Structure 1
Amino acid sequence: MTDRSARRPASHAFKATVPTRRMVLAGLGASAVLGEAGAQSSPTATPVKPLTENADSAVLPSRNLVAGPVKSRLRPPPAPESEVWAVDGETPGPVLRIKLGQTLRLQLQNRTTKPLSLHWHGLRGLSEMDGVGGFSQPPIAPGASFEYRLTPPDSGFFLYRPLLVGASSEPAGRGLAGLLIVEEAEAPRVDLDLPVIVTDWLLGDDQSIQPFDAKGPEGAAAGRLGNWITVNGKAPPQRIALPPGARVRLRLANACNARITRLRFDGIKPFVMAIDSQPTDNFEPVRAQLPFAPGTRYDLVFDMPDEAGATAMVTALTGSGVPLLRFVAEGTKPAAAGEIAALRPSPALPLAVRLQDARRSEVIVTGGAKVTADNKLDLSSLDLVRPWAINGAIGTPEAKPLFSVRRGAPVVIAIDNRTAFLQPFHVHGHSFRLLHPLDDGWEPYFLDTVQIPEGRRLHIAFIADNPGRWLISSTVLERFDLGLWTWFEVT
């Protein structure tokens, strides 16, 4: 239980050196996997500035990206290769790196057979560059291209993956995803900076990706759960050899279509430095575990064990457990790295949200399959074409916004999950606080994705400082494709 006497008023910024169980479990979201487990072997913020041309535009970073089919070995030999979709021939796609303050120009060419767009999950940029096909931009037709211009106001790392109204599951489930890293002006010293994308795949016996059924039973339940998990596109566990005592910065992102799991850390003492790209006071995960839903990102740091030959593991608690990363201490111990420093918080985010002045709205999530007492799905009397609803309707670009506010207004949204499934939701273009149940404070970290346990109601708060039209969307892509989203407007 949380000691409420330790809370401070919501109008003040505060941080907790040691997070409570509620902060990490209720705050980040209780995690559950429904359906098949998946067998696996072995004061006010600085506003976001509009994009403007400048004298240095000729030397700003630019890159061409090509999305198209390739063959990739997802399972170890002698399993044959699978035909996947990749960015620049890689699945996941290349890690893109820029410095804070730079503008990145990306010319995306679509050489797949389906329309495409890339959403920059967590990036608080321009709404027309948010990458939601059919909402913030026209979908990129096969053979066509689109230029993204991104000027992130925050350092951190962001997940890029397909997001299109009604058509996200297939391009994501075929492997299109990657990371954008915006480097800090003063990054902490580490011996290894390791970006990691976790993906799952639904494969047949011949290792081919199985067909996508947008209106099948999986869309009304947990979503498309794969039967094979990869780490950076390769069979797990990924082995990383490091000197004893070496310091590691681990950037973990969940790019699965639907898999909601937990991560467990064994043999190391990790500290969370940032959640969803935003720094927090360093803290140890409760019971060495973290909830891990699609779209979620963690920035962690840890020191390798001092003993040569010692190992450490990161495991996804799916089924009987899937080891993702295996760190092995080898070689000569380097010089001591000193204390682990915290990342500097973004100056572009508010220290406080005046809840008493907030525009309040409600998101009521209903629908989906029922779960019987023996843990089976009951799909009777359910419209599989429209199995989910927010406030009684599905999301459409033509619908009226959930609310419209002027730039700089404080906002509180209650998300009420009346379904039998945990619901992860992403707020586009903004980072928010998770409020305490009595609205008398908030958790000491920012999020852009929150997990709402089944039958629970949580409140989030933020300053609407980014003009444009923004989604509040399910990060389970099959649910999103079936309309589990709404939108708001900042003028």
Structure 2
Amino acid sequence: MASAQSAALALRCKADHLELKEGRPATAIWSLGDQPLRLKRGDRPEISLTNDLSVPVSLNFWGIDGAAAAEPLLARPPLKPSATDRIALSLRHAGTYFCDLALLGDGAAQPARTLPLIVSESEPVVADRDELVLIEGWRLKPDGAAIAPARDATGTTAVYTVNGQRGCEIAVRGRERLRLRFINGLQRQVIALKIEHHNVTVMALDGQPAEPFLARKGAFALAPGGRADVFVDIAPGAGNTPILMHDGEAAQTIAQLIRSDQPPARGEMLPAPTALPSNGLPAKLDLKSALRVDLAFGGDQKDWLAPASFAAATAAPAFRVKAARAVVLSLTNRAQTTSTFHLHGHHFRHLDRLDDGWKPFWLDTIAIDAGQTQRIAFAAEHAGRWLCETVEARWSAPRLVRWYSVE
């Protein structure tokens, strides 16, 4: 049997079903399976991917820095029906990640699920439990069929699931510390999450450790594809607690922390959590000598292409940079709605307005309001060709891509 460090994993792109509406037959979808991938930092899994669907697919890993050989559309062409590919990953970072089929999912016959990838730390982490909270959204027609993103959503109803279920309950004890790994698997929506009555400490964003900070009133936001690891310290006198999600239109309960009849986990609350073990990202970025690039999207920007028509051989790169140099991107959203920008290959810092510092966390995805400009910076550590993606916060909006090169 192969060791965990060189484990072989088999994934299949297949037709599947979810129970999305009470009293109706299960809804047809596509999936990569319903069991999260759980590995350890330092593992080097070899993933075999078989396409049982009738259309080409492209597997996209969110947040796995430096995996140039796995980069979709650039290193890996779309996988044809009935074909199998083998992808070797090196998991140099612990964190909360996922893979999906969204790159070629626009306008598809069925929407597809997200498959979480949890990479545990080598060092012990002080938490009693580690729970996944994968939030996904679906648009259902009156007949109960689900439509894929980039299709007209007129007349459809939004339905949300947590870990593939319409509801989720997590049993808790007083003075217990939960590590909740939130993944915003919604294709187009920025969401706000809220857990009241308990201390909620944000420990990691987009898979990378952050300087721990208390979520104000237990609330935090996630862009589409965004992740947050939060520690929730259960107050001894609190009862059942809803986990609320606001989707831009209304707040609703998507999960519940259910108070157990068991005695408290300990006599006293645990002290405030310390930072998660570092993944070794650079402590400083040399912004003075950074390559500076203006990158606009939305509106009438013609350089962004649909993934189905993208070819690096004919598409000009957004920029080229020498390895080890810092890059500052000025991202301008010219669309009429909020848009999401996702960077492949590297995590980045969100810069302060005056270019005199950055937020105390790393991201790989950022939401930018209509007409706004935000600046990000990263160290171009990993040689290769990498995608960047953008999509507006509308179900019918197309996903678009460009690419950049680290040489």
* TM-score over 0.5 for the pair: yes
The 8 Å contact of residues 200 and 225 in structure 1, kept in 2 or not, is answered as no
Alignment pair present for 1:196 and 2:128: no
The 8 Å contact of residues 98 and 115 in structure 2, kept in 1 or not, is answered as yes
Match of 1:317 in 2: 246
Deviation at 1:346, TM superposition (A): 3.0
Match of 2:119, SS state, is strand
CA distance in 2, matches of 1:249, 1:173: 33
* Aligned residue identity for 1:118: L
- Aligned pair partner of 1:363 in 266, 288, 295: 295
The 8 Å contact of residues 275 and 298 in structure 1, kept in 2 or not, is answered as yes
Report how many residues are paired. 397
Match of 1:350 in 2: 282
Match of 2:99 in 1: 160
CA distance in 2, matches of 1:195, 1:70: 21
In percent, how many aligned pairs have the same letter? 27
Deviation at 1:156, TM superposition (A): 0.5
CA distance in 2, matches of 1:202, 1:159: 21
Deviation at 1:460, TM superposition (A): 0.6
Deviation at 1:338, TM superposition (A): 2.2
Mind listing any 5+ residue stretches in structure 2 that lack a counterpart?
A: none
Deviation at 1:182, TM superposition (A): 1.1
Match of 1:64 in 2: 10
Match of 2:65, SS state, is coil
CA distance in 1, matches of 2:15, 2:131: 26
Deviation at 1:363, TM superposition (A): 0.6
Match of 1:206 in 2: 143
Distance 1:354 1:472, change over 3 A: same
Distance 1:225 1:344, change over 3 A: farther
Match of 2:140, SS state, is coil
Taking structure 1 as the reference length, the TM-score comes to 0.75
Higher relative contact order (CA 8 A, sep 6+): 1
Match of 2:78 in 1: 139
CA distance in 2, matches of 1:474, 1:252: 21
Deviation at 1:139, TM superposition (A): 0.8
Deviation at 1:62, TM superposition (A): 1.0
Match of 1:484 in 2: 400
Match of 1:207, SS state, is coil
CA distance in 2, matches of 1:201, 1:338: 39
The 8 Å contact of residues 94 and 279 in structure 2, kept in 1 or not, is answered as no
- Aligned pair partner of 2:303 in 393, 398, 405: 393
Give the root-mean-square deviation of aligned CA atoms: 2.6
Match of 2:367 in 1: 451
The 8 Å contact of residues 122 and 276 in structure 1, kept in 2 or not, is answered as yes
CA distance in 2, matches of 1:170, 1:158: 25
Which one has the bigger strand percentage? 2
Distance 1:479 1:140, change over 3 A: farther
* Aligned residue identity for 2:303: A
Match of 2:146, SS state, is coil
Match of 2:30 in 1: 85
Deviation at 1:67, TM superposition (A): 2.0
Mind listing any 5+ residue stretches in structure 1 that lack a counterpart?
A: 1-55, 368-387
Deviations 1:151-193 (A, max 9, x none): 12211010211143xx223569623311111110123232221
Deviation at 1:241, TM superposition (A): 1.6
Taking structure 2 as the reference length, the TM-score comes to 0.90
- Aligned pair partner of 1:326 in 256, 263, 268: 256
Match of 1:121 in 2: 62
* Aligned residue identity for 2:93: D
CA distance in 1, matches of 2:109, 2:204: 25
CA distance in 1, matches of 2:116, 2:4: 24
Distance 1:97 1:337, change over 3 A: farther
The 8 Å contact of residues 61 and 103 in structure 1, kept in 2 or not, is answered as yes
